[in-house]
DNA sequence: CTGAAAGCGCTAACAA
DNA sequence: TTGTTAGCGCTTTCAG
């Protein structure tokens, strides 16, 4: 009742050796029914629980997966995390969380976590490692799965953001729009190559439709509803304003809607807006947007990692998740 | 470069004993400058990292805090979790997450986690343990902090929901309302005594102002925007409808706004609405609501737990966090 | 200030 | 099928 029972106490109680108790603990088939029963009874009676630290030290595996992700204030992280958690939990792995806010923190955590004594595997969410780090993982044989991040040498589950930019723009084109602007974050931000990809998709769809790209139709701003409002304002007060605006995020789409409202521009009659992400607010404001499977991405990332662990084989798995347009009420044919 | 360096390798390299390396690792003052330097150099050269499992086993502490919380799909959990994470991270504790969806899962996790070999301490978020579980924690001397949950024998950080119901109602009364309805979840749900508390606060404010409670002004529904809309509808089509509705959550407030919109009832001119929680959407829809400090609650919960660990003393700390009304645009004087 | 040595609680050969 | 035993890598007396 006081000090915790150890494997020795159980052995004594069941009148067997600790090795046998260990066998029962690990479901070894090489134990007779009767012995197994006695041991289990002793375990129950003593309320025995194996000491995880001892187990880890002895067995050389931690039964722990480290999950590293930035901020986790964005709704998308939560959903991804849930997907990861559920899969790990089913497979009886502990999930340790490391949140990263700066590149230095990222480097520091990744360096520490590259040691196999820390975790059996790593999941990096929205956090592409650099080449040196990837190399390190390979050298230390640390299994890694990237979720919403990419590195050529590692397993990943991602969305094709070029495709995302493409389908959003194409959707607008098919609606009849020709004057389509793109409002985004700055294209080359440290953690987010996706920003550039979406832009490329936008350009590609335009080109395919034979619509000339107009530089004044592409504006960048740091992320946020207010800055987006400002940028949208300049877009909408252009001499020849766009009839549709595609934004790199729902937050920016909402800022764009604010600007349209201020200027008395009716959505979707006079302006179509397409966002990206399908955050919760998107539903509330009836925003047409590009949706990616968040929960699934995390879940599949965890599955990939576990399969890596099981096979002991580090051949990278690559999984591209589908993206789709969710049509709501912020888009219509131009002038319609 | 291949197999991980151990403390012995470092000792050899630095030409000292493993005990000395251990001392350096643990910042023991009993090491000479020169020796310390040599050891640190060896550590660097070998890229040595102490094996956490070995450390835990030997030292008898895990350097890990387990955080148990339900669902974690609600935005409030994320904020609380961030608060917890930041504090633990600063103090160099690992945070292991357990998500709980059913009472059985809760019981199972809590039983396992009550063993000191699992974690140095526990934080339960929005998850009140039952008496037996609390008793267990006390017996096993497992330090526990409750965040947004209450048990008389354990440390906790909470909000006073009676107070919350009270200030919301009183705010409406001071605005001049006399016909104030309350729309809530069912009062007695397993994990949420807060529902009943808010109701009590509502009753108390009414009584204090000499306003008779009208049973038809109190409606309950399972949580959700749509069911809230339905219930608000019945409230608003009463022969003598309320001029203000206080809801037990922002989601329900938004459902209430939906109903008012359908019925052509202007907010705030013809109807005032006050929510509870201050979720992100609340800001978007300009909802007046009762706000509680989410990040801080988690942060302080972690602080309390760490102080429990340090002092080795399990005297419960009790922390009540302030609640406040955030005035936005869904409230006004009646008929105003 | 430093080292030798005894564990921490478990697993996994290896024997029997 | 079961037991004996040697570690896993570290911390911590206890001597010196």
The pLDDT tens digits of the residues spanning B251-265 come to 999 999 999 999 999
What is the C-alpha separation between B155 and B309, in angstroms, rounded?
12
Q: How far is B319 from chain A (nearest CA, A)?
A: 25
Residue A85: its chain B contacts at CB < 8 A?
72, 97, 99
Note whether A94 contacts B96, CB cutoff 8 Å.
yes
pLDDT at B73 over 80: no
Given B82, B254, B285, which is nearest A73 (Cβ)?
Answer: B82
Q: Which residues touch strand C (CB under 7 A)?
A: A 4, 6-8, 18-19, 21-22, 25-26, 48-51, 54-55, 57-59; B 15-20, 23, 29-32, 34-36, 54, 57-58, 60, 117
Given B57, B112, B285, which is nearest A49 (Cβ)?
Answer: B112
What is the C-alpha separation between A297 and A321, in angstroms, rounded?
7
**In the prediction, which pLDDT does B74 show?**
65
Write out the two tokens for A300: 């599949």
Q: What is the pLDDT of residues A85-101, one digit of tens each?
A: 999 999 999 999 999 88
The phi, psi pair for A305, rounded to 5°, reads: -60, -45
Instruction: Band the pLDDT of A311: cuts 50, 70, 90.
Output: confident
**In the prediction, which pLDDT does A78 show?**
82
**In the prediction, which pLDDT does B259 show?**
97
Most confident of A160-174, A276-290, B190-204: A160-174
Note whether A85 contacts B99, CB cutoff 8 Å.
yes
Mean pLDDT of chain B: 92
Residue A112 φ/ψ region, left for φ over 0, alpha for ψ in the -120 to 50 degree band, beta for the rest: alpha
Can you tell me which residue has its alpha carbon closest to the C1' of nucleotide D13?
B19
Most confident of A36-40, A70-74, A175-179: A175-179
pLDDT at A304 over 90: yes
pLDDT at B243 over 80: yes
pLDDT at B104 over 80: yes
pLDDT average, residue stretch A90-113: 91
Write out the two tokens for A116: 């196999």
Mean pLDDT of chain A: 92
pLDDT at A2 over 50: no
Note whether A53 contacts B62, CB cutoff 8 Å.
yes
Inter-helix orientation angle B7-14/B18-25, to 10°? 110
pLDDT at A114 over 70: yes
**In the prediction, which pLDDT does A190 show?**
65
Which residue is listed with tokens 């230095």? A104
Vertex A178, ends A177 and A184: CA angle to 5°? 90
**In the prediction, which pLDDT does A310 show?**
86
| C1’ D6 / CA A58, Å | 12
Q: What is the pLDDT of residues B57-68, one digit of tens each?
A: 999 899 999 999
pLDDT at B2 over 60: no
Q: Which residue of B has its CA nearest to A282?
A: B281
pLDDT average, residue stretch B196-214: 96
Q: What percent of chain A has pLDDT over 90?
A: 74
pLDDT average, residue stretch B40-54: 93
Instruction: Band the pLDDT of A49: cuts 50, 70, 90.
Output: very high
Note whether B82 contacts A95, CB cutoff 8 Å.
no
What is the C-alpha separation between A78 and A82, in angstroms, rounded?
6
pLDDT at A262 over 50: yes
Instruction: Band the pLDDT of B101: cuts 50, 70, 90.
Output: confident
Closest nucleotide over all strands to A28 (CA to C1'): D1
Instruction: Band the pLDDT of B240: cuts 50, 70, 90.
Output: very high
| C1’ D6 / CA A19, Å | 13
**In the prediction, which pLDDT does B195 show?**
85
B172: closest CA among B270, B274, B286?
Answer: B274
pLDDT average, residue stretch B32-48: 91
pLDDT average, residue stretch A12-36: 91
What is the C-alpha separation between B89 and B14, in angstroms, rounded?
31
- Count CB neighbours of A95 within 10 A: 22
| C1’ C8 / CA B117, Å | 11
Instruction: Band the pLDDT of B3: cuts 50, 70, 90.
Output: low
pLDDT average, residue stretch B219-239: 93
Instruction: Band the pLDDT of B1: cuts 50, 70, 90.
Output: very low
pLDDT at A16 over 80: yes
pLDDT at B212 over 60: yes
H/E segment holding residue A212: none
Give the DSSP per-residue string, B65-128. EEEEEE---SHHHHHHHHHHHHHHHHTT-EEEEEEE-SHHHHHHHHHHHTSTTT-SEEEEES--
pLDDT average, residue stretch B292-317: 92
pLDDT at B301 over 70: yes
Q: Where are the alpha helices (DSSP H) in chain B?
A: 7-14, 18-25, 33-46, 52-59, 75-90, 103-113, 131-140, 161-174, 194-208, 225-236, 250-262, 280-284, 294-311
**In the prediction, which pLDDT does A187 show?**
87
Give the DSSP per-residue string, A181-209. EEEES-S-BTTBTHHHHHHHHHHHHHHHT
């Amino acid at each position: 009742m006081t000090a915790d029972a150890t494997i020795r106490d159980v052995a004594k109680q069941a009148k067997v050796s600790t090795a046998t108790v260990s066998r029962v603990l690990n479901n070894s088939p090489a134990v007779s029914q009767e012995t197994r029963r006695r041991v289990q009874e002793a375990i129950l009676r003593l309320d025995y629980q194996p000491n995880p630290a001892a187990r880890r030290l002895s067995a050389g595996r931690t039964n722990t997966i480290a999950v590293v992700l930035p901020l986790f204030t964005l709704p998308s992280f939560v959903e991804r995390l849930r997907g990861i958690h559920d899969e790990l939990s089913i497979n009886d792995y502990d999930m340790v969380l490391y949140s990263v806010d700066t590149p230095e923190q990222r480097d520091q955590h990744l360096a520490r976590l590259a040691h196999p004594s820390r975790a059996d595997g790593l999941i990096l969410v929205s956090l592409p490692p650099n080449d040196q780090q990837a190399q390190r993982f390979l050298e230390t044989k640390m299994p890694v799965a990237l979720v919403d991040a990419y590195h050529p040498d590692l397993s990943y589950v991602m969305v094709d953001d070029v495709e995302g930019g493409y389908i959003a723009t194409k959707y607008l084109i098919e609606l009849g729009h020709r004057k389509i602007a793109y409002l985004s974050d700055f294209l080359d931000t440290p953690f987010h190559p996706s920003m550039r990809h979406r832009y490329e998709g936008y350009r590609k769809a335009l080109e395919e439709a034979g619509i000339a790209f107009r530089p004044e139709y592409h504006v960048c701003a740091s992320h946020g509803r207010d800055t987006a409002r400002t940028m949208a304002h300049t877009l909408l007060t252009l001499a020849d304003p766009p009839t549709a605006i595609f934004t790199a995020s729902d937050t920016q789409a909402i800022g764009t809607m604010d600007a349209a409202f201020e200027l008395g521009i009716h959505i979707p009659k006079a302006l179509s807006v397409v966002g990206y992400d399908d955050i919760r607010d998107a539903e509330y404001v009836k925003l047409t947007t590009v949706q990616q499977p968040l929960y699934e991405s995390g879940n599949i990332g965890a599955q990939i990692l576990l399969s890596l662990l099981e096979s002991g084989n580090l051949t990278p798995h690559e999984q591209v998740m589908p993206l789709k347009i969710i049509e709501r009420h912020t888009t219509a044919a131009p002038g319609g």
